[in-house]
Structures are given as C-alpha cells and as structure tokens.
Amino acid sequence: MATIESVHTVMAAEGLDDLGHVIDDDHANRTDCLVVTRRDDAWVTFSTDERATVVDESVRTYPSESEALDDFLVLLRMKGLIRDLRRERDLERVERAPMSLESLPAQMAEGLDRVHVALGDVYLRRLDCLAVARRDGVWSTFFIDERAAVEEASLHTFPDEASAVADFLDRLRSQHRKLEIQDELRDRRRRAGEPS
C-alpha cells in the first residue's frame, strides 16, 4: 500500500522529485504540475496547466488514498519520461539549428498560427497572448492576459535565448494541440446532436 512517505522515497530514488507536483497540499498558483490531494471527501489526481488552471480532463477520483498515490506515481513516471524525451529532442534541436527570436517566425510557419503571440518587446503592447522576451535581463516565456498584464504564475525563466525559444515553441505547440482537441470534441458533440 502506497503512503505519502513511500511515494516521496520512490520519487527521490527515481529522480522524479524535480517534476512539478503537489502531494496533499494547496495547488493554487502552481503551474504545469501533477496533484494528488483530498477533495470533497475523496482522493483525486489532476494536472494543472501553464496558467495554473486544473485540466478538467485529467481529474480522476479514487476510493482510497493508496490507490490515488499509486496512480499519481504512475502519472509522475510518465511525466518524467516526457521530460526526458523533451530534453533529448531539445538537444537534437540545438545541435541541428540555432534557436533565436529571429528564427521563430520561420519555425512558426509550420501551422502554429491559431494562438496570439508576442516575440520580444512587442509583448508590452499585446493582449491575451503567449510571449517570449528578455524581461529585466532574463529570458522568459509567459502569458499576457486580456489587460496586458503578465500572468506571473505562467512565467518560466531561462539562462539563455535558445532555451527560452525552445520552451516557447513547446508551449505554443501545446496550446495548438489543446485547440485541436477542443475542435475535435466540439465536432463529436455536433455529430452526436449534443450542444457544443
């Protein structure tokens, strides 16, 4: 039977403790993390997105703490595999082509045009978009809300431009994938005669 302590031990042993996670604690303002907690007298697991919003499709309910923790560990291992694959891909990408703000428009021409973006200082004049820029001397990716304010919970910082650009592209692809999934769900509902 899994316990919170045993999960922490396994995470440390397998190098998973650096992944975004919350175990039976407050997940408010935690971006891109996997959560296991008690909610409404039941144990649940779910993910938060880059805006610290609960991803509804990820919510799972369990009859016991042990089952929730077991599944949490499985999900965290999958998140670790994805992290490792992204690192490999990023290394290949850096070796293959230089990543810079100037190279982004060409890379975005691959059909990533449904999300509003801001490249560089243009973010100071844009609303409701994903941005990559050098802020206060630090390369960052972040979301701008409808009031043109930086959503601090979405802020990721990087030591160099190439890393920031790679993260920006990953986040942009993720946003596009979410839109594609929403389109697909809407089409299925429409075909089934349900309201969209």
Higher pLDDT, 100 or 12: 12
Residues 16, 41 share a domain: yes
Q: Which of 96, 118, 141 is the last residue of a domain?
A: 96
Q: Look at residue 95 in the predicted model and tell me its pLDDT.
A: 62
| 3-state secondary structure string across 126-140 | CCCEEEEEEECCEEE
Average pLDDT over residues 32-45: 91
Residues 122, 91 share a domain: no
pTM above 0.75, yes or no: no
Q: Look at residue 142 in the predicted model and tell me its pLDDT.
A: 95
Number of domains comprising the chain: 2
Integer Cα distance of 103 and 24 in angstroms: 42
Say if residue 148's pLDDT is above 80: yes
DSSP the chain: ---HHHHHHHHHHHT-TTS-EEESS--TT--S-EEEEEETTEEEEEEB-TTS-B-GGG-EEESSHHHHHHHHHHHHHHHHHHHHHHHHHHHHHHHHS---TTTHHHHHTTT--SS-EEEGGGGGG-SSEEEEEEETTEEEEEEE-TTS-EEEEEEEEESSHHHHHHHHHHHHHHHHHHHHHHHHHHHHHHHHT---
Average pLDDT over residues 68-80: 91
Q: Look at residue 168 in the predicted model and tell me its pLDDT.
A: 93
Q: Which of 62, 96, 130 is the last residue of a domain?
A: 96
Q: Which of 29, 63, 96 is the last residue of a domain?
A: 96
Integer Cα distance of 74 and 72 in angstroms: 5
Confidence of residue 93 (pLDDT cuts 50, 70, 90): low
Domain with 59, as residue range(s), is 4-96
The least confident of 52-61, 81-90, 166-175 is 81-90
